[in-house]
Chains A and B, each alone.
Chain A
Amino acid sequence: QKEVEQDPGPLSVPEGAIVSLNCTYSNSAFQYFMWYRQYSRKGPELLMYTYSSGNKEDGRFTAQVDKSSKYISLFIRDSQPSDSATYLCAMGIQGAQKLVFGQGTRLTINP
């Protein structure tokens, strides 16, 4: 079993839809939870960063962490074609230099 599981998709939705992307994990020591966005043939860029359980909102994006269920989510409201990318979840432990990444979900927003 992988330490972090993420549905690779692909996921295709119409413009304006609410998108939900999810990751589950097995290591209860994870404290930091991140979402990276990666456009085709580019490097990933940090989208959201959360510490421990709870919600964090940034514009149309909301990151949710449920440590009791070992489950994190990224919600995208009013999705736009420019949101079409691969979304990677990543997790880390304080004091440890390594991150563990999910497989990435390829998302397409259709105009």
Chain B
Amino acid sequence: DGGITQSPKYLFRKEGQNVTLSCEQNLNHDAMYWYRQDPGQGLRLIYYSQIVNDFQKGDIAEGYSVSREKKESFPLTVTSAQKNPTAFYLCASSIMGPGANVLTFGAGSRLTVL
């Protein structure tokens, strides 16, 4: 079945550590996205990528980094510079062009900083 796989599902991190969240899709979608979800705040865009080896900052990119070396993969690194990293992180993908607004989401990764 086609879809998006995020791992790990749950992650605990000590303050000062970087962590990387994995996102893999087999939908052959060109565009991929990372969102952060906090209670009462909806989804906020961290980074997105429309093509391999290129990505753009979203609304809350500070303290995060991404790479897009393969079309299928878009890992997110939460760095120690992110002041409040505890959140639910969602990866999504879409086609380009007409229908680009329709996102397919993964199941999410919950990060807790101890």
A interface with B by C-beta (< 8 Å): 4, 6, 8, 32, 34, 36, 41-46, 49, 88, 90, 92, 97-99, 101-104
Contacts and interface: CB of A to CB of B under 8 A. Distances in A.
Contacts of B104: 46
B90 A103 contact: no
Main SS class of interface, B: strand
A103 B42 contact: yes
A41 B110 CA distance: 9
B87 to A, nearest CB: 13
Chain B interface category by residue count:
20 to 34
A100 to B, nearest CB: 9
20 contacts: A42-B107, A43-B4, A43-B105, A43-B106, A44-B105, A46-B102, A46-B103, A46-B104, A90-B101, A90-B103, A92-B101, A97-B31, A97-B50, A97-B100, A98-B45, A98-B48, A99-B45, A99-B101, A101-B35, A101-B43
